[in-house]
Amino acid sequence: MGNGIIVAVANQKGGVGKTTTAINLGAALADSGQSVTIIDLDPQGNASTGLGVAAGDRNPNSYDLLAGDTTLAKAARATAVPNLSIVPATADLSSAEIDISKRARRTHLLADNLKQATGIILIDCPPALGLLTINAMVAAESIIVPLQAEFYALEGLSQLMLTIRQVRQTANPNLRIEGVLLTMSDSRNNLSQQVEADARQTLGGVVFDTVIPRNVRVSESPSHAMPVIHYDPASKGSAAYRALAAEVLMRRKKEPVRG
Ligand SMILES: Nc1ncnc2c1ncn2[C@@H]1O[C@H](COP(=O)(O)OP(=O)(O)O)[C@@H](O)[C@H]1O
Ligand SMILES: [Mg+2]
């Protein structure tokens, strides 16, 4: 192993804030001096677009990294944010599930090819629990689970937890949950408050203290190819993602090996 910290941002539900969290937590950690690489593992390539990697400029990419046709050092490219690089994704990645399914180490490909990783690696997972997300879970030491503060938020969680348990039993016994992150919360909305209360009661200390508010600046920033903390540093969304970065670093200092 290199001395990298690999964290997967995963939830099989789409639209819960995985990509937004990968980009903005990544940028906030980078701002605090950490060397951060985002691996865009979603064929939709939203993290790549959101960080300004043009669609025609995505070689080498995460598919090549998964396939072992490139190295992390070659595939990671700088972004406009100092200390933040990205391994971009292309739509080719959607065929990866089939292409790699016959390989003997099909669930370990990303782990095998991230052995030399250094710094913090954030993997932006696709909205599914297929081979791509499994590869991320096998490679990662921990998982951040964004949970959108809406009615069915907790419903999909048992399936996700089951998959995490299976990965622990088979491939990655030390895989832990870095934290569950409440996203798109609306403090004036009773439902958001209810979901937050439920999540804290059901999941306990694994829920991050930091809650990400619904904030229009957060949703605008990708179209300007910038993390919100640079697009509008004074916004509530920026403050929340900076707080999340601080909380992640603080928790790690306090409890370097949490169960
Ligand atoms: N805190 C937020 N406030 C407002 N909009 C948000 C926030 N977080 C995410 N969004 C928007 O919600 C949509 C889904 O978020 P995204 O991060 O792409 O989810 P996922 O990667 O899980 O599919 C995007 O349009 C994004 O801009
Ligand atoms: Mg996404």
Can you identify the CATH homologous superfamily of domain 5-251? P-loop containing nucleotide triphosphate hydrolases (3.40.50.300)
Tell me if 8 sits within 8 A of 139, measured CB to CB: yes
Cα of 193 to ligand 1 centre, how many Å?
19
Among protein residues, the one whose CA lies closest to atom 20 of ligand 1? 15
pLDDT reading at 233 higher than 50: yes
Ligand nearest to the CA of 145: 1
Lookup: tokens for 56: 């025609």
Residue 84 to residues 27, 33, 114, 239: CA-CA distances in angstroms?
6, 10, 17, 19
Q: Report whether residue 41 contacts ligand 1, using a CB cutoff of 6 Å.
A: no
For residue 18 and ligand 1, the question of a CB distance below 6 A is answered with yes
* Residue to probe by mutation, ligand 1, list 9, 18, 20, most atoms within 8 Å of CB: 20
* Strands of 176-183's sheet in order across: 77-78, 84-87, 36-40, 120-124, 5-9, 142-148, 176-183
Chain segment 169-203, per-residue pLDDT in tens: 999 999 999 999 999 999 888 888 999 999 999 99
Using a CB cutoff of 5 Å, list residues around ligand 2, an ion. 18-19, 46
Whole-angstrom distance, CA of residue 108 vs CA of residue 145:
21
In the block, tokens 């001395």 appear at 3
What's the pLDDT at 256?
52
Strand partners, 38: 86, 122
Asked if the model's pLDDT at residue 259 lies above 50, the reply is no
Name the pTM for this structure: 0.96
The DSSP output letter for 90 is -
Cα separation, 196 vs 81, in Å, equals 32
Residues 195 and 96: their CA atoms lie apart, in Å, by 35
